[in-house]
Amino acid sequence: MKGIFITVEGSEGSGKTSLIQGLLPLLAERSNALVMTTREPGGIPLAERIRDIILDLQSEEMDEKTESLLFAASRREHLVKKILPALEEGKLIIADRFVDSSLAYQGVGRGLGIETIAALNAFVTEGLEPDLTLYLDLKPKEGLARIQQNRANEVNRLDLLGLKFHQKVHVGYLKIAKENPQRVVVINAQQALAKVIADCFEVIIHRFPKLFKEKSSDNLK
């Protein structure tokens, strides 16, 4: 692939969307690549419709394996219709969630097993992995408090699963980060948003220096 694939991961309320919105203008201005953002589940019309089903409060009784399969189906469509073509075109992709989310949420949070969910997603992605994953680490209690404070009117089905579930997800993410130190960089999401953006931008600059113009090496100051 000619492009670069960066994913942003984190528990509910960790600030992934705000981070991506902050990174986009910096990357568009300072990198030599065409920058594209996307999200999972979603990113293309069919995958967005699957997202609506997954997150709908009326889907409360959904079977856990059904949930995992819906995430996988959405991911496959998103991958073949949007991510792979963009990588072939040499774009820099910033994605809000990818396989790590399924490993943490369904593998650990739902108790289906990381190995089981990894095998399902290996079939879906045909082995494609991000070049870099920025994991926004935040204690679940703080993340859920942020949701209630900042987007209580947009709460979805996963937001309502309770603190115990989200603590399991947090443990899952930490396990994934520990086992993939070359790919996953842990970012302290407890910091002010501006600092989180600056830290992530610095990681990207150092990981992919050829993407940036010489003047951008002056860094964020």
Distance CA 185, CA 207 (A): 11
Q: Does domain 4-218 have CATH number 3.50.50.60?
A: no
Using an 8 Å Cβ cutoff, are 93 and 86 in contact?
Answer: yes
pLDDT in tens, 9-33: 999 899 999 999 999 999 999 999 9
pLDDT at 112 over 50: yes
Q: Which residues of 55-83 are buried (b: 16+ CB within 10 A; e: fewer)?
A: beeeeeeeeeeebbebbbebbbbbbeebb
**In the numeric block, which tokens belong to residue 133?**
């994953």
Distance CA 179, CA 201 (A): 23
Q: What are phi and psi of 178, to 5 degrees?
A: -65, -35
- Report the half-sphere exposure of 19 (CA within 13 A, side-chain side): 32
For the chain, domain boundaries: 4-218
Please give the model's pTM, rounded to 2 decimal places.
0.92
pLDDT cut 90: percent of the chain above it? 80
